[in-house]
Amino acid sequence: MALINKSELKNLVGDMKISTEFYPALNMKVEELVRDSIRRAKENQRTTLMARDV
């Protein structure tokens, strides 16, 4: 599942080049961050992800 929008990322980095291997690596980090946030929310008996879970 692609969580990263390549076009928006290209806009963010400006003149920097992005290697093709960067996208899946970044996507995996984001997925890991979301899974950790889900775990924290569940530990606090919530079904809503909040900024404090990040």
d(CA 47, CA 22): 31
Enclosing domain of residue 17: 6-53
Q: What is the pLDDT of residue 27?
A: 96
The answer to whether position 44 is within a domain reads: yes
pTM for the model: 0.84
The answer to whether position 1 is within a domain reads: no
Q: Are 32 and 8 in contact (CB under 8 A)?
A: no
Q: What is the pLDDT of residue 2?
A: 86
d(CA 49, CA 12): 25
Q: Are 27 and 4 in contact (CB under 8 A)?
A: yes
Q: Are 30 and 4 in contact (CB under 8 A)?
A: yes
Q: What is the pLDDT of residue 1?
A: 79
Tens digit of pLDDT per residue, the chain (54 long)? 789 999 999 999 999 999 999 999 999 999 999 999 999 999 999 999 999 999
